[in-house]
C-alpha cells in the first residue's frame, strides 16, 4: 500500500492547474500499486474544480470500480469530502451520458 499525502503539496487546493499536476503524479501510482491511500489529513480546502481535475478525471483513465479497488481516502474534512463526492458523481454521470450518446448516434 502506498500513501499519497496531499499535505506535502499544500493545505489549500483550489485550482484546476494544481489538480492536473497532482493527477499526473497520482495516475502512475494508482496504476502501479494495489492500493493507494489518498491522505488529505491537514488539508483545509478542496474546491470542486480541484476535486474534478485531480480525482474525478481519473475516471477518464479507469472505471469507477477500478478506482474504488485501487484507492481509499483518509483525512477528508466534511467540506473536502463533499467536494470530492460531488466531483466524482458529476464526472461519472457526464462520462456515462457521453458513452450512451455515442452508442445511440
The model's pTM is: 0.89
Q: Which region holds residue 10: left if phi is over 0, alpha if psi is between -120 and 50, else beta?
A: left
Where does the pLDDT of residue 101 fall: very low under 50, low under 70, confident under 90, or very high at 90 and above?
A: low
Q: Per-residue pLDDT tens for 48-69?
A: 999 999 999 999 999 999 999 9
Where does the pLDDT of residue 105 fall: very low under 50, low under 70, confident under 90, or very high at 90 and above?
A: very low
Three-state DSSP at 37 gives: strand
- Please give the mean pLDDT across all residues of the chain: 93
CA distance 96 to 68: 17
Q: For residues 73 and 36, is the Cβ–Cβ distance under 8 A?
A: no
- Please report, for the chain, the start and end positions of each structural domain, with discontinuous segments joined by +: 2-104
Amino acid at each position: 500500500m502506498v500513501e499519497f499525502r496531499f499535505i506535502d503539496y499544500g493545505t489549500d487546493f483550489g485550482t484546476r492547474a494544481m489538480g492536473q499536476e497532482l493527477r499526473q503524479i497520482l495516475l502512475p501510482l494508482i496504476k502501479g500499486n494495489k492500493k493507494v491511500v489518498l491522505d488529505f489529513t491537514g488539508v483545509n480546502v478542496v474546491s470542486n474544480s480541484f476535486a474534478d481535475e485531480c480525482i474525478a478525471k481519473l475516471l477518464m483513465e479507469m472505471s469507477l470500480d477500478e478506482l474504488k479497488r485501487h484507492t481509499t481516502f483518509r483525512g477528508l474534512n466534511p467540506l473536502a469530502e463533499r467536494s470530492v463526492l460531488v466531483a466524482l458523481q458529476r464526472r461519472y454521470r457526464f462520462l456515462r451520458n457521453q458513452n450512451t450518446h455515442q452508442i445511440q448516434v
